[in-house]
Structure formats: C-alpha cells, structure tokens
Structure 1
Amino acid sequence: MAPLIPLLLIAPLLVVVAYADLSRMRIPNVLSLIALAVFGLVAVVAPPDDLLVRIAVAGTIFVLGFGAFCLRLFGGGDVKMLSALLLFVPVPTMPLFGYVFSASMLAGIVIVLGLRRIPAAHRLGWKSISGSTGFPMGLSIAMAGILHPAAAFLIASPLPG
C-alpha cells in the first residue's frame, strides 16, 4: 500500500481537475505541472523502484495521446493530466488502473449525460453540461486516480472467512 501513498497526496489536485473540466471543459496546464512537481519531489525523497518504467509508460501515453489530440479525439489537457497521473501508478498495479480507468470512463459518461438531462443542473453554468457536446475526461481521470488506491487495497486484502 505504501507505493500508492503519493497518489493519495494528489487526490485534492484531482478534485480540482474534475471541477475544472466539468465547469470549463479545460484542464489548466498548471494542474498537470503541479502533479509533475509533486511526483518530482516524491521521486527525489523516495524514488520508486520502477521509476524508469513509470516514466516510459507516461511518455508513451503522452505520445499516443498527442496523436489522438491531433485527430481531435482527446483534449490536450486530458492527455497531459493522464500522462502525469500515470507517473504515480506503481507498475504492478497498472493493469488494475486500466480497469479502474475504464470503469471511471463509463461512470463519467453516465454522470455527465445524466446531468445534461436535469434542468436544474444547467443553472450551474458548467460548459460540460449546458453548452458542450464533448466529454470532460478530466472527471474520469480524477475518479480513476482517486479510486485506484482503494481498488488496489481491496484486491490486496484477504477476504474474510
């Protein structure tokens, strides 16, 4: 569980990411830079054993995401934040992160489509609800980052009985 503690440190930042993307359909660069700075500090204080693999995975996702951005399939902020988030995910739990992220994408779609059907939600003035046909992936990225440690803990915990 200790390798997931840095991920817990950025949970408040992930909440801001979700809010920013829901309200403005933008993830400001400064949020990705803060995540990178936190990871840099963590890597200096307690470098993870799998540091180079994490960097390689995050870099690969960034390059593939840039291609998807060029094809207008992903937003630039989504690509940068997901790449930064992957630096915090320990390599042994990356397959689990994939499942959590997939479930978070589905949940995010259901949440956004549900909010778009509620007239009172439009009064919030959030671009993702009232004016956009796009999807605020920052919500799903944030959910995955926040829920991943809990999922890893539940998987690692022996079942009672």
Structure 2
Amino acid sequence: MANVTFKDNPVTLLGTEVKVDEDAPNFTVLSNDLQEKTLKDYQGKIKLISVVPSLDTGVCAEQTKRFNEEADKLENVHVLTISMDLPFAQTRWCSAEGVKNIDILSDHRDADFGEKYGVLIKELRLLARSIFVIDSNDKITYTEYVSEVTNHPDYEAALEAAKKAE
C-alpha cells in the first residue's frame, strides 16, 4: 500500500491499491442529483479521476478548479472529481466557484470508490488525494497516490497521461 500522511502523520488507507495495467474496478458513487453513477456510465471514454478529501479546503478547491479549466482542452477525456462531501455541499461549491466542465461525485454513502481504489483514510473517513487515468477500455494507465494529503498532485503528469490514453 502507498505510504500516505496527513499533516505529516501517517494514516491507514483501506481497500486495495490499484496499479497501472490493471482493469479499473467498477464503483458506485452519487451524482449531485443523488443518482448512482458507476464507472460503466463512462464506458468507452478516457477518464481522469481527481480524488480530493473535501472541496471546502484550499488545495482541494485549487485541484478541482485546475482540472475544470483543463477539461475543455482534453479531447475524449471525461474528468471526474470524487470526494466524501455530501452532494448538496458539492452542488453549492460548484455554483459558487463556477465549476461546470467536470463531474463532481460523492463517495459519502458507501465509500465504495475509496475502498476499491485504496484511498479511504481509516482515521478520518476521507479520501486520500490521488489521481487515476483510465483508458477507454477501462484499463488503468496512470496512478498517483499523493504521499502527503495536503500537497498538490502532479498536474502535468496526470494531464499528459490523459492525453496519451486511448
């Protein structure tokens, strides 16, 4: 498992760490209108999944806004942000920040995504900051488990991996 800290304190990640070249596990999360969404809903598309602990924190907000800005420049790439925030809070945040180019999804109900991708922080019941790129055949082509949850991911590497995915 990835070694991850939160404010320099080690945390326990629950679930299974996914790796490049593996089949992406299917998952169930909630959209902002409380509808279930799964990986299969994005079948045939390249997916860049940006995972954040909470949209209401500085780094998470910056990360989400950055991928929202980049989404228009990516061909055939669907950008998803997943957090443990309630769908209502996600809707409010997106409206306040003008985020419209990406899907914001909530894992709060079952932590299904968090467990299947090995990013559920046991001590906090939040998701660890991470990035996954999944190709149109649902193979994982890129992963980043950010070692310190309060740090930014490698945006350029993630965007480059999304552009190269088929």
Q: TM-score, normalised to structure 1's length? A: 0.29
Q: TM-score, normalised to structure 2's length? A: 0.29
Larger proportion of helix: 1
Greater relative contact order (CA < 8 Å, ≥ 6 in sequence): 1
Larger proportion of strand: 2
